[in-house]
Chain A
Amino acid sequence: MSLFSALSVSASGMSAQRARTELLVENLANADTTRTPEGGPYRRKDAVFASDPSAGQFSALFESQVNPASSGVRVAQVITDQRDPEMRYMPGHPDANKDGYVAYPRMNPAEDMVDLLSASRGYQANVAAISAVKDMINHSLDLFK
């Protein structure tokens, strides 16, 4: 039934927004990280979303074959910021180069906070959609009473 696939579409939106939130929180936590396994300072990560006709579940997959209009969402790619690191003059730091500069992640907390708000609002919108659809399903079930 079509309303149930709306639930999995919204669930895919929730999981995509949660994945994005995880990346943003990771960015904030690593705002001052100068060492990473890849070497060099931490680089900011962000998620790119793509619409996904099959939102994971069987019913959604079936529905997408029958009627390709409605589609869920998935994280298509995690992009890493390629901007040059910010150089701070800290001669005493163990990671300082020969001139006494330390490479810090180029991080703008405002950017991450705004994205975090947007991800959280997106998540809430998906939750609202789920509860509206759930009410509709419940009202249909009430017809049996």
Chain B
Amino acid sequence: MFEAVAGNLEKYMSLLSTRQKLVASNIANADTPGYRTKDIDFRAEFAQQMQAQECDGMPVTDPQTIEPDGLPVKADGNNVSLDREARMLAENAMRFQVASSLAQAELHSIRSALQEGPSS
């Protein structure tokens, strides 16, 4: 019962932290000549992990890093857009917060069930 919901949440949170790590790396390298923005294809990676969970034996692969297209390249070959990274930073943090609140609510309801309903 718990795994069905929290298992997916765990994958979601783990992918979010992978993505957040890449965002941190992009921000740190915002002034590095030749550096290219890195990201993961979130939808595809999440679908892949869900699929791996459904059919047992299918290996869970590490998320593949991609370099998103369409970002303007500066004169030094760097294409980090701080606006994009700031948006991603906030978005990932909020999504993570939602996921952890959901997981916590799930844990609370199970704890409540274990204690035979709300205690005094």
Binding site for B on A (CB under 8 A): 1-3, 5-7, 9-10, 12-13, 16-17, 20, 48-51, 55, 67, 69-73, 118-119, 121-122, 125-126, 128-130, 132-133, 135-136, 139-140, 142-143, 145
Q: Is the CB of B24 within 8 A of A122?
A: no
Contact check, A142 vs B24: say whether CB atoms are below 8 A apart: no
Q: B residues within 8 A CB of A2?
A: 14, 17-18, 21
Q: Is the CB of A49 within 8 A of B33?
A: yes
Query: Please, how many angstroms separate the alpha-carbon atoms of A128 and B85 in the complex?
Result: 11
The answer to whether residues A3 and B27 also contact, given A49-B33, A51-B35, A142-B104 and a CB cut-off of 8 A, is: no
Closest to B17 in A: A3
Chain A residues near B97 (CB, 8 Å)?
A: 135-136, 139
Partner of B28, one of A73, A119, A139, A145: A73
The 29 sampled A-B contact pairs (Cβ below 8 Å) are A3-B21, A10-B27, A13-B27, A16-B31, A20-B31, A49-B29, A50-B32, A50-B33, A67-B62, A70-B21, A71-B28, A72-B28, A73-B28, A73-B32, A125-B27, A125-B86, A128-B27, A128-B86, A129-B24, A132-B89, A132-B90, A135-B93, A136-B92, A139-B97, A140-B13, A142-B104, A143-B104, A143-B107, A145-B104
On B, residues with C-beta under 8 Å from A are: 13-14, 16-18, 20-25, 27-33, 35, 38, 62, 65, 82, 85-86, 89-90, 92-93, 96-97, 100-101, 103-104, 107
